Amino acid sequence: MPAESSGQPQACPLDQAGVRARLADASVGIIGLGGLGSNIAMMLVRSGVRRLVLADFDRVEPSNLARQLYFPDQLGSLKTDALAETLMRIEPGAELTLIPERIDAGDIARVFGAVDVLLEAVDTAEDKAMIVETASDQLPDTPLVWVAGLAGCATANAIETQRVGDASWLVGDLEADVRDGLPLLASRVMVAAAHEAHIAIRILLGMPEA
Amino acid sequence: MQIELALFAKLSARYPVGGSGREPRPLEVEDGVTVGALVERIGLADEQRITFVNGRHAADDLRLAAGDRLAIFPPIAGG
Protein backbone atom coordinates (compact mmCIF):
# COMPACT_ATOMS: atom_id res chain seq x y z
CA MET A 1 0.00 0.00 0.00
CA PRO A 2 1.26 3.49 -0.70
CA ALA A 3 3.09 5.55 1.83
CA GLU A 4 1.40 8.65 3.06
CA SER A 5 1.48 11.46 0.57
CA SER A 6 4.06 14.15 1.05
CA GLY A 7 2.22 16.44 -1.37
CA GLN A 8 -0.23 19.17 -0.46
CA PRO A 9 -0.62 19.69 3.28
CA GLN A 10 -4.00 18.67 4.61
CA ALA A 11 -6.11 21.00 6.65
CA CYS A 12 -6.20 20.07 10.32
CA PRO A 13 -9.79 19.58 11.47
CA LEU A 14 -9.05 21.20 14.84
CA ASP A 15 -7.10 24.18 16.11
CA GLN A 16 -4.34 23.85 18.73
CA ALA A 17 -6.76 23.91 21.66
CA GLY A 18 -9.08 21.50 19.91
CA VAL A 19 -6.28 19.05 19.24
CA ARG A 20 -5.21 19.10 22.87
CA ALA A 21 -8.78 18.65 24.08
CA ARG A 22 -9.28 15.65 21.80
CA LEU A 23 -5.98 14.06 22.81
CA ALA A 24 -6.59 14.64 26.52
CA ASP A 25 -9.37 12.06 26.44
CA ALA A 26 -7.27 9.44 24.65
CA SER A 27 -5.30 6.53 26.03
CA VAL A 28 -2.17 5.23 24.31
CA GLY A 29 -0.20 2.08 25.11
CA ILE A 30 3.53 1.78 24.46
CA ILE A 31 5.42 -1.52 24.64
CA GLY A 32 9.13 -0.83 25.07
CA LEU A 33 10.58 2.36 26.52
CA GLY A 34 13.90 2.54 24.73
CA GLY A 35 14.93 4.84 21.91
CA LEU A 36 11.49 4.66 20.35
CA GLY A 37 9.15 4.39 23.31
CA SER A 38 10.71 6.95 25.65
CA ASN A 39 10.75 9.62 22.93
CA ILE A 40 7.27 8.71 21.67
CA ALA A 41 5.89 9.13 25.19
CA MET A 42 7.52 12.55 25.48
CA MET A 43 6.07 13.70 22.14
CA LEU A 44 2.60 12.42 22.97
CA VAL A 45 2.54 14.11 26.37
CA ARG A 46 3.80 17.38 24.89
CA SER A 47 1.05 17.09 22.28
CA GLY A 48 -1.66 16.73 24.90
CA VAL A 49 -2.08 12.98 25.46
CA ARG A 50 -2.49 12.54 29.22
CA ARG A 51 -3.24 8.85 29.62
CA LEU A 52 -0.45 6.42 28.82
CA VAL A 53 0.10 2.73 29.59
CA LEU A 54 3.89 2.25 29.61
CA ALA A 55 5.53 -1.18 29.64
CA ASP A 56 9.20 -2.10 29.93
CA PHE A 57 10.99 -4.56 32.20
CA ASP A 58 14.45 -3.01 31.79
CA ARG A 59 16.55 -0.60 33.80
CA VAL A 60 18.44 2.45 32.56
CA GLU A 61 22.00 1.65 31.46
CA PRO A 62 24.82 4.02 30.39
CA SER A 63 24.51 3.01 26.73
CA ASN A 64 20.85 4.08 26.74
CA LEU A 65 21.80 7.73 27.23
CA ALA A 66 22.91 8.02 23.61
CA ARG A 67 19.33 8.04 22.28
CA GLN A 68 16.81 7.38 25.03
CA LEU A 69 15.07 9.96 27.20
CA TYR A 70 16.96 9.22 30.40
CA PHE A 71 19.60 11.03 32.43
CA PRO A 72 22.80 10.01 34.26
CA ASP A 73 21.14 10.36 37.66
CA GLN A 74 18.58 7.76 36.57
CA LEU A 75 21.10 4.98 35.86
CA GLY A 76 19.90 1.76 37.46
CA SER A 77 16.29 2.90 37.75
CA LEU A 78 13.45 1.03 36.14
CA LYS A 79 12.72 2.69 32.81
CA THR A 80 9.05 2.90 33.74
CA ASP A 81 9.89 4.87 36.89
CA ALA A 82 12.54 7.06 35.26
CA LEU A 83 10.34 7.95 32.30
CA ALA A 84 7.34 8.62 34.53
CA GLU A 85 9.46 11.07 36.52
CA THR A 86 10.36 12.98 33.36
CA LEU A 87 6.86 12.90 31.86
CA MET A 88 5.36 14.24 35.09
CA ARG A 89 7.78 17.16 34.92
CA ILE A 90 6.44 17.93 31.44
CA GLU A 91 2.77 17.37 32.32
CA PRO A 92 1.95 17.06 36.03
CA GLY A 93 -1.58 16.07 35.12
CA ALA A 94 -0.52 12.99 33.16
CA GLU A 95 -2.17 9.72 34.15
CA LEU A 96 0.46 7.02 33.75
CA THR A 97 -0.06 3.29 34.19
CA LEU A 98 3.36 1.69 34.64
CA ILE A 99 3.96 -1.96 33.78
CA PRO A 100 7.55 -2.89 34.77
CA GLU A 101 7.27 -6.35 33.21
CA ARG A 102 8.31 -8.15 30.05
CA ILE A 103 5.16 -8.26 27.94
CA ASP A 104 4.40 -11.63 26.41
CA ALA A 105 1.53 -12.93 24.32
CA GLY A 106 -0.57 -13.66 27.38
CA ASP A 107 -0.40 -10.08 28.64
CA ILE A 108 -1.35 -7.92 25.68
CA ALA A 109 -5.15 -8.11 25.84
CA ARG A 110 -5.15 -7.77 29.63
CA VAL A 111 -2.73 -4.84 29.82
CA PHE A 112 -3.66 -2.94 26.66
CA GLY A 113 -7.29 -3.91 26.10
CA ALA A 114 -8.57 -0.42 26.94
CA VAL A 115 -6.12 1.77 25.00
CA ASP A 116 -7.19 3.70 21.91
CA VAL A 117 -3.89 3.12 20.07
CA LEU A 118 -1.11 0.61 20.77
CA LEU A 119 2.49 1.33 19.78
CA GLU A 120 5.13 -1.37 19.36
CA ALA A 121 8.52 0.06 20.36
CA VAL A 122 10.68 -2.95 21.20
CA ASP A 123 14.05 -3.84 19.74
CA THR A 124 14.16 -7.54 18.89
CA ALA A 125 12.60 -9.02 15.76
CA GLU A 126 11.12 -11.86 17.79
CA ASP A 127 9.30 -9.53 20.16
CA LYS A 128 8.09 -7.35 17.29
CA ALA A 129 6.58 -10.36 15.51
CA MET A 130 4.97 -11.60 18.72
CA ILE A 131 3.42 -8.20 19.47
CA VAL A 132 2.11 -7.62 15.94
CA GLU A 133 0.62 -11.09 15.66
CA THR A 134 -0.86 -11.18 19.17
CA ALA A 135 -2.26 -7.67 19.12
CA SER A 136 -3.74 -8.23 15.66
CA ASP A 137 -5.42 -11.44 16.83
CA GLN A 138 -6.56 -10.39 20.31
CA LEU A 139 -7.24 -6.68 19.79
CA PRO A 140 -8.19 -6.61 16.09
CA ASP A 141 -9.98 -3.28 16.31
CA THR A 142 -7.28 -1.46 18.28
CA PRO A 143 -5.02 0.52 15.96
CA LEU A 144 -1.47 -0.85 16.13
CA VAL A 145 1.64 0.99 14.97
CA TRP A 146 4.83 -1.02 14.57
CA VAL A 147 8.33 -0.41 13.31
CA ALA A 148 10.63 -2.11 10.82
CA GLY A 149 13.89 -0.43 9.93
CA LEU A 150 15.43 2.56 11.71
CA ALA A 151 19.08 1.65 12.21
CA GLY A 152 22.14 2.92 10.39
CA CYS A 153 23.27 6.12 8.72
CA ALA A 154 21.12 6.15 5.56
CA THR A 155 18.91 9.12 4.80
CA ALA A 156 16.15 9.68 7.31
CA ASN A 157 13.85 10.39 4.36
CA ALA A 158 13.65 6.64 3.78
CA ILE A 159 11.65 6.26 6.99
CA GLU A 160 7.96 6.53 6.24
CA THR A 161 4.55 5.55 7.55
CA GLN A 162 2.28 3.22 5.61
CA ARG A 163 -1.02 1.62 6.43
CA VAL A 164 -0.62 -2.14 5.98
CA GLY A 165 -3.88 -3.44 7.43
CA ASP A 166 -7.32 -2.55 8.68
CA ALA A 167 -5.86 -1.47 12.02
CA SER A 168 -2.14 -1.71 11.33
CA TRP A 169 0.40 0.98 10.44
CA LEU A 170 4.06 0.30 9.70
CA VAL A 171 6.86 2.82 10.26
CA GLY A 172 10.40 2.45 8.99
CA ASP A 173 12.63 2.04 5.96
CA LEU A 174 11.92 -1.73 5.79
CA GLU A 175 15.63 -2.40 5.41
CA ALA A 176 18.04 -1.38 8.16
CA ASP A 177 18.44 -4.13 10.76
CA VAL A 178 20.65 -3.89 13.82
CA ARG A 179 21.46 -7.59 13.36
CA ASP A 180 23.50 -6.52 10.34
CA GLY A 181 25.79 -4.56 12.64
CA LEU A 182 24.27 -1.15 11.94
CA PRO A 183 24.51 1.48 14.67
CA LEU A 184 21.49 3.13 16.25
CA LEU A 185 21.75 6.90 15.88
CA ALA A 186 19.64 9.18 18.05
CA SER A 187 18.66 11.26 15.02
CA ARG A 188 17.33 8.38 12.92
CA VAL A 189 15.70 6.57 15.85
CA MET A 190 13.90 9.77 16.80
CA VAL A 191 12.63 10.21 13.25
CA ALA A 192 10.99 6.80 13.54
CA ALA A 193 9.71 7.70 17.00
CA ALA A 194 8.21 10.90 15.62
CA HIS A 195 6.52 8.94 12.84
CA GLU A 196 4.98 6.60 15.42
CA ALA A 197 3.85 9.45 17.64
CA HIS A 198 2.45 11.41 14.71
CA ILE A 199 0.41 8.60 13.18
CA ALA A 200 -0.93 7.83 16.67
CA ILE A 201 -2.05 11.46 16.95
CA ARG A 202 -3.59 11.37 13.48
CA ILE A 203 -5.49 8.19 14.32
CA LEU A 204 -6.78 9.80 17.52
CA LEU A 205 -7.86 12.86 15.56
CA GLY A 206 -9.78 10.67 13.13
CA MET A 207 -7.49 11.21 10.15
CA PRO A 208 -5.62 7.93 9.83
CA GLU A 209 -5.30 7.92 6.04
CA ALA A 210 -2.89 9.88 3.93
CA MET B 1 -7.69 -19.02 -8.62
CA GLN B 2 -5.78 -15.80 -8.43
CA ILE B 3 -4.58 -13.97 -5.34
CA GLU B 4 -2.38 -10.93 -4.87
CA LEU B 5 1.03 -11.46 -3.29
CA ALA B 6 2.95 -8.67 -1.57
CA LEU B 7 6.44 -9.41 -0.25
CA PHE B 8 8.01 -6.58 1.73
CA ALA B 9 11.63 -5.50 2.21
CA LYS B 10 14.24 -8.19 1.57
CA LEU B 11 11.53 -10.77 1.00
CA SER B 12 10.66 -9.05 -2.28
CA ALA B 13 13.65 -10.85 -3.80
CA ARG B 14 11.69 -14.08 -3.41
CA TYR B 15 8.75 -13.38 -5.72
CA PRO B 16 8.07 -16.65 -7.57
CA VAL B 17 6.81 -15.13 -10.81
CA GLY B 18 7.54 -12.19 -13.05
CA GLY B 19 6.69 -8.62 -12.36
CA SER B 20 8.63 -5.50 -11.81
CA GLY B 21 10.63 -4.51 -8.79
CA ARG B 22 9.04 -4.85 -5.41
CA GLU B 23 5.46 -4.22 -6.47
CA PRO B 24 2.73 -6.64 -5.36
CA ARG B 25 1.64 -8.94 -8.14
CA PRO B 26 -1.05 -11.47 -9.00
CA LEU B 27 -0.30 -15.14 -8.42
CA GLU B 28 -2.13 -18.21 -9.67
CA VAL B 29 -2.64 -20.78 -6.92
CA GLU B 30 -4.82 -23.86 -6.52
CA ASP B 31 -8.21 -23.50 -4.87
CA GLY B 32 -8.11 -23.73 -1.10
CA VAL B 33 -4.35 -23.54 -0.69
CA THR B 34 -3.32 -22.67 2.85
CA VAL B 35 -1.09 -19.77 3.77
CA GLY B 36 1.49 -22.19 5.14
CA ALA B 37 1.61 -24.31 1.98
CA LEU B 38 2.05 -21.24 -0.20
CA VAL B 39 4.70 -19.79 2.08
CA GLU B 40 6.62 -23.06 1.86
CA ARG B 41 6.34 -23.10 -1.91
CA ILE B 42 7.74 -19.58 -2.13
CA GLY B 43 10.64 -20.69 0.03
CA LEU B 44 9.84 -18.58 3.06
CA ALA B 45 8.98 -21.33 5.53
CA ASP B 46 12.19 -20.84 7.48
CA GLU B 47 12.14 -17.04 7.37
CA GLN B 48 11.01 -14.92 10.30
CA ARG B 49 7.83 -13.33 9.00
CA ILE B 50 4.63 -11.52 9.86
CA THR B 51 1.79 -12.63 7.61
CA PHE B 52 -1.38 -10.71 6.82
CA VAL B 53 -4.33 -11.70 4.64
CA ASN B 54 -6.62 -8.86 3.62
CA GLY B 55 -5.13 -6.58 6.23
CA ARG B 56 -5.35 -8.89 9.22
CA HIS B 57 -2.85 -11.28 10.75
CA ALA B 58 -3.29 -14.77 9.31
CA ALA B 59 -2.21 -18.15 10.70
CA ASP B 60 -0.59 -20.72 8.45
CA ASP B 61 -3.68 -22.95 8.40
CA LEU B 62 -5.89 -20.24 6.87
CA ARG B 63 -7.21 -21.27 3.45
CA LEU B 64 -6.90 -18.57 0.83
CA ALA B 65 -9.80 -17.53 -1.39
CA ALA B 66 -9.80 -15.96 -4.81
CA GLY B 67 -8.93 -12.28 -4.64
CA ASP B 68 -7.25 -12.47 -1.25
CA ARG B 69 -4.23 -10.25 -0.65
CA LEU B 70 -1.39 -12.11 1.05
CA ALA B 71 1.24 -9.75 2.52
CA ILE B 72 4.41 -11.01 4.17
CA PHE B 73 6.76 -8.78 6.19
CA PRO B 74 10.13 -9.59 7.73
CA PRO B 75 10.40 -8.27 11.30
CA ILE B 76 13.42 -5.96 11.41
CA ALA B 77 15.32 -5.50 14.68
CA GLY B 78 16.03 -2.13 16.28
CA GLY B 79 14.13 0.16 18.54
Q: Complex ipTM, two decimals?
A: 0.90
Question: Is the CB of B23 inside 8 Å of chain A's CB atoms?
Answer: no
pLDDT at A9: 64
> At B52, phi and psi to the nearest 5?
-120, 145
Element (H, E) at A48: none
Distance from CA of A153 to the nearest CA of B (A): 13
Q: Determine whether the interchain pair A35/B79 forms a contact, defined as Cβ–Cβ distance below 8 Å.
A: yes
- CB contact set of A81 (below 8 Å; sequence gap of 6+): A98, A100
Determine how β-strand B69-73 pairs with β-strand B2-7. parallel
**Which residues in A lie closer than 8 A to residue B11 (C-beta atoms)?**
none
pLDDT at A8: 60
Q: Is A112 left (phi over 0), alpha (psi -120 to 50) or beta?
A: alpha
What is the per-residue pLDDT across A131-151, written as a single tens digit (0 to 9) for each? Answer: 999 999 999 999 999 999 999
pLDDT at A85: 98
Of B9, B52, B71, Cβ closest to residue A175: B9
Please report the residues numbered 56 through 85 in chain A whose beta carbons come closer than 8 angstroms to any beta carbon of chain B: none
**Which residues in B lie closer than 8 A to residue A128 (C-beta atoms)?**
50, 75-77, 79
| Domain presence at residue B58 | yes
For residue B35, what are the domain limits?
Answer: 2-73
Q: Taking a C-beta distance cutoff of 8 angstroms, is the pair B35, B61 a contact?
A: yes
Give the single-character DSSP code of A78.
Answer: B
Distance from CA of A15 to the nearest CA of B (A): 32
pLDDT at A15: 92
Residue A145 β-bridge partners: A119, A169
CATH at B32: 3.10.20.30
pLDDT at B23: 82
pLDDT at B44: 94
For residue A128, what are the domain limits?
Answer: 16-204
Question: Is the CB of B19 inside 8 Å of chain A's CB atoms?
Answer: no
Side chain identity, residue A193:
A
Element (H, E) at A195: helix A186-204
What is the per-residue pLDDT across A169-186, written as a single tens digit (0 to 9) for each? Answer: 999 999 999 999 999 999
pLDDT at A203: 97
How many domains is chain A partitioned into structurally?
1
Q: Determine whether the interchain pair A125/B49 forms a contact, defined as Cβ–Cβ distance below 8 Å.
A: no
Q: Taking a C-beta distance cutoff of 8 angstroms, is the pair A150, A188 a contact?
A: yes
Cβ burial, residue A63 (10 Å; 0-12/13-18/19+): exposed
Question: How many angstroms separate the CA atoms of A126 and A120, rounded?
Answer: 12
| Domain presence at residue A6 | no
Chain-centre distance of CA A184, in angstroms? Answer: 16
Low-confidence ranges of chain B (pLDDT < 70): 17-21
> At A149, phi and psi to the nearest 5?
105, 95
Q: Determine whether the interchain pair A166/B9 forms a contact, defined as Cβ–Cβ distance below 8 Å.
A: no
Question: Is the CB of B30 inside 8 Å of chain A's CB atoms?
Answer: no
| Domain presence at residue A197 | yes
CATH at A76: 3.40.50.720
Low-confidence ranges of chain A (pLDDT < 70): 1-10, 210
How many domains is chain B partitioned into structurally?
1
